[in-house]
Amino acid sequence: MKRKIFKYIGLGLLAVLALLLGGYFLVKRSVHNRTTQKYAFATERLHVPSDSATLARGRHLVAIKGCQDCHGQDLAGKVLNDDGALGRLVATNITSGKGGLAQDYTTDDWVRALRHGVDKTGRPLLLMPSQETTLLSAEDLGAVIAYCQQVPAVDNPLPANSLGPLGVLLTHFDKIPLLSVEKIDHTQPMLARADTTEGVAMGKYLAVSCSGCHRPDFKGGEPVVPGQPPVPDLTSAGHIGKWTQEQFIQTLRTGKTPAGHQMNNENMPWKMTAQYEQKELASLYQYFRSL
């Protein structure tokens, strides 16, 4: 009698296991298809000037948009994560050195990556925040590309991306922003140029870079990665509603809040916000206060 019960329990567990495994393989195949599917987009013509003002603007944008946090200070790329669970995620060497962008990587290829989130062949770029870079004005996009195209070539061959089981599941349940190509409105035309006078409009344009963590409505929420602190509300309902513009700017330059809390750059990239110009931080403050 007892033996029979154990036999049924055992069979039941096996059936559950089989279902879970089957489910996982379906999810894995679906994610595999999504990451290897080829996309084609109409090429947009972009003017890439090479005067010194444009290069200086490009250099500033590369610093404040976090390109170097992922692609490295010299843009020669790096392995961002490598473990059995999440997998190996690698930011490309985007210089023209060994292991870098192909010799025939054209301005159109740059536009494809930054506007549409796919590589030269139309394969989706993983983790590259193209849903943000796609919103850069044509003028700023041209400046970023102009700057990147002339950085010194660095030889740095890197291994390929590969997703682990946790990476597959998190992607399936949309818990990590892996496939920006799926999040972009590919028909949205490029803004010609952004407002560069201090104020709410400029703040709104810049705040795109904060939306990935602080959420599109800037109300914050759950930690971006489990184990990190929750993401604070940046609207006037949060601390910013009580801070002066000076206190806000000081916080983003030093990582230390008016309450004396020193933020870790790994959680909140304040070494990036420290590089914003005064009028850019002032504009961000004015925009968040208007929400």
Residues in touch with ligand HEC (CB under 6 A) = 62, 65-67, 69-71, 89, 91-92, 94, 110, 113, 119-120, 125-129, 133, 144, 148, 161, 209-210, 212-214, 224, 228-229, 231-232, 234, 238-239, 251-252, 257, 263, 267-269, 273, 284
CA-based nearest residue to 218, from 131, 136, 290: 290
| Minimum gap (Å) between residue 238 Cβ and ligand HEC | 5
The span from the CA of 158 to the CA of 91, in Å, is 9
Tell me whether residue 135 or residue 169 sits nearer to ligand HEC (CB atom).
135
Tell me whether residue 7 or residue 32 sits nearer to ligand HEC (CB atom).
32
Tell me whether residue 27 or residue 151 sits nearer to ligand HEC (CB atom).
151
| Minimum gap (Å) between residue 63 Cβ and ligand HEC | 9
| Minimum gap (Å) between residue 285 Cβ and ligand HEC | 8
The upper half-sphere exposure of residue 13, i.e. CA atoms within 13 Å in the direction of its Cβ, equals 6
Under DSSP, the state recorded for 109 is H
Tell me whether residue 7 or residue 186 sits nearer to ligand HEC (CB atom).
186
Sign of CA dihedral 103, 90, 219, 239: negative
Please list, residue by residue across 13-48, b when 16 or more beta carbons sit within 10 angstroms of its beta carbon and e when fewer do.
Answer: eeeeeeeeeeeeeebeeebeeebeeebebeeeebeb
Tell me whether residue 94 or residue 169 sits nearer to ligand HEC (CB atom).
94
| Minimum gap (Å) between residue 22 Cβ and ligand HEC | 28
| Minimum gap (Å) between residue 84 Cβ and ligand HEC | 19
The span from the CA of 274 to the CA of 254, in Å, is 7
The span from the CA of 69 to the CA of 272, in Å, is 8
